[in-house]
């Protein structure tokens, strides 16, 4: 009797602790977003979205930085999605499970933990200098693609692993080849999870400033990039640059730019959730 009571009490304590832990994060987020909204919401206007960088905080806008961010997002997706998914499929389904695949696995997990600025140095030496691409959009996107590849690979593998083996066995039993099984059964079933992983990884990429500064992304660009070889800036660099200015007006601009960046990432997370639900509904076994 007494033991049951103690266990119940432990249960209660744990659930309260869990609740507090959940709220710590949530409250911090609310405070942070509230603070940013108070500072920056009044500054957001069409002029701010379409404006060019300026020394005058009231005239300065984020157009070129936003255009750069959208370009980077687009190119990074284009590069990282096929490579990451293909690598994930290979490691999970095709690669021999031996010592080499173990080493590969450990290395990929380690890569996910490498500080982003290291990727910036790699991008500068290899893409910008060795490949002679300069501080272009392509260099930046390739660097960010490298940065998020480990995350995409891990997400792909997890999603594929989650597909019941009975489905695969049934496919093989009907005489399907490995590729047919992958293409018609495993990939559609795991696509929701893969896309969620990719989009969350991209949300991380769109918030990076450090590796892009190293690669040579700029702070002042008076034009929107027109090709992947153009110089560029991105929103996080613009925000970083504004925060370090003494005039109060720039701090407000930074808050407003943070709101735009937040909306962009929320939008992407929303798409991720939608895709996941969409694909889950489609699967009927």
Partner 1 sequence: MKNTIPVLLIMLIISSCGGNKTAKNSELAGTIKIDGSSTVYPVTEAVAEEFRAVQPKINVTIGISGTGGGFKKFGRGETDISDASRPIKQSEIDLCNENNIKYIELSVAYDGLAVLVNPENDWVDHFTVDELKKLWEPDAQGKITKWNQIRPEWPDEEVHLFGPGVASGTYDYFTEAIVGESGSSRGDFTASEDDNVLVQGIAGDKYGLGFFGLAYYEENKDKLKIIAVDGGNGPVFPTIETVKNGSYTPLSRPLFIYINSVAGKRTEVQEFVRFYLDNAPALSREVGYIPLENTAYQAEKEKFESFVSRLNE
Lookup: tokens for 5: 């009571």
DSSP annotation of 231: B
If binding is defined by CB under 8 A, does position 45 make contact with partner 1?
no
If binding is defined by CB under 8 A, does position 241 make contact with partner 1?
yes
Among 132, 155, 134, CA closest to 201: 155
Q: How far apart are alpha carbons 116 and 78 in whole angstroms?
A: 20
Instruction: Work out how close the CB of 60 gets to partner 1 at its nearest, in angstroms, rounded to a whole number.
Output: 9
Instruction: Work out how close the CB of 136 gets to partner 1 at its nearest, in angstroms, rounded to a whole number.
Output: 12
If binding is defined by CB under 8 A, does position 221 make contact with partner 1?
yes
Q: Are 193 and 159 in contact (CB under 8 A)?
A: yes
Lookup: tokens for 203: 């949300």
Q: Are 248 and 175 in contact (CB under 8 A)?
A: no
Instruction: Work out how close the CB of 229 gets to partner 1 at its nearest, in angstroms, rounded to a whole number.
Output: 12
If binding is defined by CB under 8 A, does position 248 make contact with partner 1?
yes
With contacts defined by CB under 8 A, name the span among 21-29, 89-97, 186-194, 220-228 that binds partner 1.
Answer: 220-228
Size of the site for partner 1 (CB under 8 A): 26
Instruction: Work out how close the CB of 146 gets to partner 1 at its nearest, in angstroms, rounded to a whole number.
Output: 20
Residue closer to partner 1 by CB (options 57, 95) is 57
Residue closer to partner 1 by CB (options 70, 251) is 251
Q: How far apart are alpha carbons 48 and 35 in whole angstroms?
A: 19
Q: Report CA 257 to chain centroid distance, whole Å.
A: 18
If binding is defined by CB under 8 A, does position 160 make contact with partner 1?
no
If binding is defined by CB under 8 A, does position 216 make contact with partner 1?
yes
Among 49, 34, 117, 75, CA closest to 253: 49
If binding is defined by CB under 8 A, does position 243 make contact with partner 1?
yes
CA dihedral 264, 268, 271, 273 (to 10 degrees): -120
Residue closer to partner 1 by CB (options 53, 192) is 53
Q: Which residues pair with 231 in a beta bridge?
A: 136
With contacts defined by CB under 8 A, name the span among 10-18, 34-42, 150-158, 218-226 that binds partner 1.
Answer: 218-226
Lookup: tokens for 142: 């390739």
Among 266, 233, 264, 262, CA closest to 61: 233
Q: Which residue has the tokens 């080493």?
A: 103
If binding is defined by CB under 8 A, does position 32 make contact with partner 1?
no
Single residue of 22, 45, 50, 54 touching partner 1 by CB under 8 A: 54
If binding is defined by CB under 8 A, does position 226 make contact with partner 1?
no
Q: Which residues in this chain contact partner 1 in the complex, by CB under 8 A?
A: 52-55, 134-135, 213-214, 216-223, 231, 237, 241, 243-248, 251
């Amino acid at each position: 009797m007494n033991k049951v009571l103690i266990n119940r009490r432990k249960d209660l304590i744990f659930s309260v602790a869990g609740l507090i832990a959940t709220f710590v994060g949530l409250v911090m987020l609310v405070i942070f977003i509230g603070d940013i909204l108070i500072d920056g919401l009044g500054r957001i206007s069409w002029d701010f979205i379409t404006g060019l960088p300026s020394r005058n905080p009231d005239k300065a806008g984020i157009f070129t930085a936003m255009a750069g961010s959208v370009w980077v997002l687009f190119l990074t997706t284009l590069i990282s999605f096929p490579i990451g998914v293909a690598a994930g499929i290979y490691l999970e389904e095709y690669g021999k499970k031996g010592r080499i695949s173990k080493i590969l696995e450990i290395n990929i997990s380690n890569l996910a933990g490498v500080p982003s600025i290291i990727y910036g140095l790699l991008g500068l030496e290899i893409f910008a200098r060795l490949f002679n691409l300069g501080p272009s959009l392509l260099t930046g996107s390739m660097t960010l693609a490298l940065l998020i590849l480990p995350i995409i690979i891990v997400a792909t593998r997890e999603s594929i692993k989650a597909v019941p083996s009975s489905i695969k066995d049934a496919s093989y039993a009907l005489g399907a080849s490995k590729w047919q099984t992958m293409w018609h059964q495993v990939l559609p079933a795991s696509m929701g999870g893969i896309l969620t992983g990719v989009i969350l990884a991209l949300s991380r990429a769109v918030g990076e400033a450090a590796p892009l500064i190293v690669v040579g992304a700029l702070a002042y660009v008076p034009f929107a990039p027109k090709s992947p070889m153009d110089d560029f800036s991105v929103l996080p660099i613009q925000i970083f640059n504004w925060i370090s200015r003494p005039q109060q007006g720039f701090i407000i601009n930074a808050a407003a730019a943070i709101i735009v960046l937040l909306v962009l990432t929320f939008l992407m997370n929303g798409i991720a959730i939608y895709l996941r639900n969409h694909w889950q509904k489609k699967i009927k076994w």
